């Protein structure tokens, strides 16, 4: 409900100021909120994949550093969570690596967790080691939600040797 409402406001922002990243960026974020409520498959059947992708890409094009490099992080997350056959872990990794070079990466746990998830999905010993280090850092943050997420992923890695 709120995601759909947010999408409408974001569309109005784009209409009023098409050369600013705000509306495009918040449209993409609100589709994510909407998708969490109704399911990603429902959002896909409603044709929201291409509009979300183009909105986030436009925000990135206009100002990739907007809202603490939010367009970079959002595009990485988009490619990491969109269902098969659209999912593209390598594209996600490219955006996460770009985000990793910003000053915001070290300030927030969220990007570390997202990057760790993609590294684990790509498999390999080096990726696993880097992911573990990132998750340990994220578990030391002051963001309770992300601390729990990081600790959960660390437990899965420790119990199975891989993230499930």
Task: Categorize the per-residue pLDDT at 164 as very low, low, confident or very high, splitting at 50, 70 and 90.
Answer: very low
Provide the domain limits for residue 41.
1-86
At 84-123, the pLDDT tens digits run 888 999 999 999 999 999 999 999 899 999 999 999 999 9
All residues at 6 or more sequence positions from 147 whose CB lies less than 8 Å from its CB, including other chains:
109, 138, 139, 140, 141
Least confident of 11-25, 27-41, 57-71, 143-157: 27-41
Q: From the CB of residue 113, how many other CB atoms can be counted at a distance below 10 Å?
A: 25
Q: Residue range 13-33: average pLDDT?
A: 92
Within-domain flag for 67: yes
Kind and range of the H or E run holding 29: helix 22-38
Are 8 and 51 in contact, with CB atoms under 8 Å apart? no
How many Å apart are CA 138 and CA 148, to the nearest integer?
Answer: 9
- Are 1 and 82 in a shared domain? yes
At 37-50, the pLDDT tens digits run 767 667 777 777 88
Residue 52 in this model has a pLDDT that exceeds 90: no
Mean pLDDT (the chain, rounded): 90
- Are 14 and 63 in a shared domain? yes
Nearest Cα to Cα of residue 26 among 42, 58, 142, 164: 58
Within-domain flag for 97: no
Taking phi first (over 0 means left), then psi (-120 to 50 degrees means alpha), and beta for anything else, what does residue 69 get? left
Q: What percent of the chain has pLDDT over 70?
A: 94
Whole-number pLDDT of residue 163: 53
Which of 86, 116, 142 is the C-terminal boundary of a domain?
86
What b-and-e string marks burial along 68-106, b requiring 16 or more CB atoms within 10 Å of the CB? ebbbbbbbbbbbbebeeeeeebebbbbbbebbbebebbe
Provide the greatest CA pair distance for the chain. 52
- Are 112 and 74 in a shared domain? no
* Tally of structural domains, the chain: 2
Within-domain flag for 99: no
- Are 8 and 79 in a shared domain? yes
């Amino acid at each position: 409900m709120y995601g759909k409402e947010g999408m409408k406001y974001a569309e109005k922002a784009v209409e009023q100021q098409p050369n600013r990243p705000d509306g495009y960026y918040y449209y993409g974020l609100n589709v994510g909120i909407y998708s969490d409520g109704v399911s990603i498959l429902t959002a896909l059947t409603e044709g929201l994949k291409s509009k979300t992708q183009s909105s986030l890409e436009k925000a990135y094009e206009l100002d990739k550093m907007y809202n603490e490099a939010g367009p970079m992080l959002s595009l990485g997350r988009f490619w990491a969570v969109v269902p098969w056959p659209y999912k593209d872990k390598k594209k996600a990794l490219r955006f996460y690596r770009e985000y990793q070079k910003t000053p915001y990466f070290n300030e927030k746990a969220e990007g570390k967790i997202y990057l760790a998830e993609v590294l684990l999905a790509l498999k390999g010993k080096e990726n696993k080691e880097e992911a573990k280090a990132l998750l340990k850092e994220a578990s030391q943050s002051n963001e309770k939600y992300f601390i729990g997420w990081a600790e959960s992923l660390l437990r899965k890695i420790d119990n199975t040797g891989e993230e499930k």
